[in-house]
Amino acid sequence: MYAEELLSALPLKRVIGPMPTLIKDIAIDSRIVEEKSLFVCIKGDTVDGHEYAQQAVNNGAIVIVTERELVLEGDVTQVIVQDTNRAIGLLAAKFFDYPSNELTMVGVTGTNGKTSVTGIIHNLLQSMGERSALTGTIGFNLNGILYETANTTSDALSTQQMIFRAKMEGCRAMIMEVSSHGLALGRLAGVEYDVAIFTNLTHDHLDFHGTMEEYGNAKGLLFSQLGQDLSKNKVVVLNADDAWSKKYAMLTQFPIYTYGIKDETAAFRATGIRYEDGMTYFTLHSPEGNYDVSMHLLGEFNVYNMLAAIAAFYGRGYALELIVEHIAELLPVKGRMEKVQSDLPFDIFIDYAHTPDAIEKAIDAAMPYKRPGKKMIFLVGTGGGRDKTKRPAMAEKASRCEYVVLTTDDPRYEEFDSITGDLAKGMTHENFACIGDRAEAVRHAVSVAEEGDIIIFAGKGHEDYQIIENTKYPHSDTDIALEEGRKKFNL
Ligand SMILES: CC(=O)N[C@H]1[C@@H](OP(=O)(O)OP(=O)(O)OC[C@H]2O[C@@H](n3ccc(=O)[nH]c3=O)[C@H](O)[C@@H]2O)O[C@H](CO)[C@@H](O)[C@@H]1O[C@H](C)C(=O)N[C@@H](C)C(=O)N[C@H](CCC(=O)O)C(=O)O
């Protein structure tokens, strides 16, 4: 792209040096700068991109966008702006020619349920023969190939790059998990959403947002940023059973489709929920009448997730009959109350729950499968160096199970004992063990399981690794549990 044209995205700037003709690429990481690139120095939480400007120049950057004049060697032009974080959003959207305008963009925000709702929508679109891309906690899924991403909601540059790639590969829609960090840090700058969905808001990430109020306000940005162009067919989907929805409704003038189980005014409502033979059944009440829905996904929280997806499809003009038909075929989202197929005499569920609310919902979901007189064993971990205030509340929720194993998710640099010790403060009974080493903890959970019991392994979900200090080690709750279980029952 012509440098002049690209930099026209930044109206307030001071340019030092001659303007080159062409810019071939944009980068924010000095380690992966290509020839004739523009490098934007981003001040991070742990490091400052300004420190790496020289490395970027050495690797081929010809323009540096910076917040202060830097001493740099080589043929390089400096563009000084007030806020590089804001600049990268503007530049990235311009460089990739605002790709979100050409796709149906779906953003899903909320504490829990983002991965499930995005997964459900993506899978339903695929089953109807429509090409869509998916981004979130599991990475970037483009035409069935999964690319790793650093965050649930990636930085502004990666976000625009991914949308552009989806467009170039013929996708018609892009379904994105939208985290509160992503919204608060401007990672979604320039993304024009057509569908904005809210799942729920419960305790999480208070280390970053400070208060629930701030956390909720950050999520509200998804709705307030939909704009005012009512000629566009934008759709807002809100959970009528969550009080935050009333606030979000006030942030936008686009049509709102509510869903829920408790609130009788919800436009899409489920009643008569029952769980039988690994299936969930409910009656869907909709503006177009009632439908019987059957699905392989388990638990009340998945009924909420499905209602959110149904409301979104309806809002975009899909026939409910068709959607209900496809829902019956849909398989569970990986690592979200996923029942492990095995020949073991007890049931294993894998779930990503890592908030008090999600733990409660995971237990609720498994409860219909609990056999009389048998135990439910819950293994719960939490990440190191992150929101510590939620830990006791997580263990308190897990205490509903007869036996609890307290462990770690990604301990990072925090001591195992510090994590399990915080969790233990919330236990309401004595039937628990603190085992920081997660592999050991999984083996222990299996060792106390008897025929007919249920074990829920929470916290890692689809993840196949564990981060200890700054290294990713391979780890699979499922593999360890199956191996230990077979050994125990001589299978
Ligand atoms: C606190 C936080 O959000 N940190 C994010 C932040 O990292 P950071 O501030 O430390 O910045 P950095 O990557 O160290 O460096 C700053 C700049 O210097 C550059 N740099 C750095 C090193 C170098 O050699 N050369 C170089 O140019 C970097 O490319 C970057 O441009 O910027 C990184 C790049 O965008 C993110 O990956 C990183 O997320 C970390 C991994 C993280 O854990 N974030 C969490 C808190 C988060 O965002 N979570 C949400 C919510 C998930 C949920 O809902 O559960 C998410 O969306 O993932």
Q: Does the pLDDT value for residue 11 go beyond 90?
A: no
pLDDT of 212 reads 87
pLDDT value at position 332? 82
Q: Residue 378: CB partners within 8 Å, gap ≥ 6?
A: 359, 363, 398, 400, 401, 403, 404, 405, 455, 456, 458
Instruction: Match domain 99-327 to its CATH number in 3.30.360.10, 3.40.1190.10, 3.40.640.10, 1.20.20.10.
Output: 3.40.1190.10
Distance (Å, rounded) from C-alpha 382 to C-alpha 423? 8
Nearest-atom index, ligand 1, CA of 30: 27
* Structure token digits, residue 90: 């503007």
Of all protein residues, the one whose alpha carbon is nearest to atom 48 of ligand 1 is: 181
**Is the pLDDT assigned to residue 80 strictly greater than 90?**
yes
Residue 210: pLDDT band by 50, 70, 90 thresholds?
Answer: confident
pLDDT of residue 211 exceeding 90, the answer is no
* Cα-to-centroid distance, 44 and ligand 1 (Å): 7
Binding residues: 30, 110-116, 151-153, 179, 187
Asked if the model's pLDDT at residue 207 lies above 90, the reply is no
pLDDT-derived band of residue 260, with 50, 70 and 90 as boundaries? very high
The whole-number pLDDT of residue 165 equals: 98
Q: How far is the CA of 64 from the centre of ligand 1 (A)?
A: 20
* Chain segment 295-353, per-residue pLDDT in tens: 999 889 999 999 999 999 999 999 999 999 999 999 887 888 888 989 999 999 999 99
DSSP string, 280-304: EEEEEEETTEEEEEEES--SHHHHH
**pLDDT, tens digit, 9 for 90 and up, residues 24-76:** 999 999 999 999 999 999 999 889 999 999 999 999 999 999 999 999 999 99
Which pLDDT band holds residue 365 (cuts at 50, 70, 90)? confident
Across all residues in the chain, what is the average pLDDT? 95
* Residue spans per domain, the chain: 3-95, 99-327, 338-488
pTM of the model: 0.86
Q: Mind listing the pLDDT tens digit for each residue in 430-480?
A: 999 999 999 999 999 999 999 999 999 999 998 999 999 999 999 999 999
Residues 6+ apart with CB under 8 A from 490: none
Q: What percent of the chain has pLDDT above 70?
A: 100
**What number of residues does the chain have?**
491
Note the CATH architecture for domain 338-488.
Alpha-Beta Complex (3.90)
Q: Hey, CA dihedral for 316, 320, 322, 323, is it positive or negative? A: positive
Assign 205 a pLDDT band (cuts: 50, 70, 90). confident
pLDDT of residue 45: 85
**Residues with Cβ within 8 Å of residue 447, at least 6 apart in sequence:** 484, 488
List ligand 1's pocket residues with C-beta within 6 A.
28-31, 42, 44-47, 49, 52, 150-153, 155, 179, 181-182
- Averaged over 204-228, what is the pLDDT? 90
Pairing of strands 376-382, 454-458: parallel
CATH code for residues 3-95: 3.40.1390.10
Using the predicted structure, report yes or no on whether residue 276 has a pLDDT greater than 90: no
Q: How many angstroms separate the CA atoms of 344 and 455, rounded? A: 12
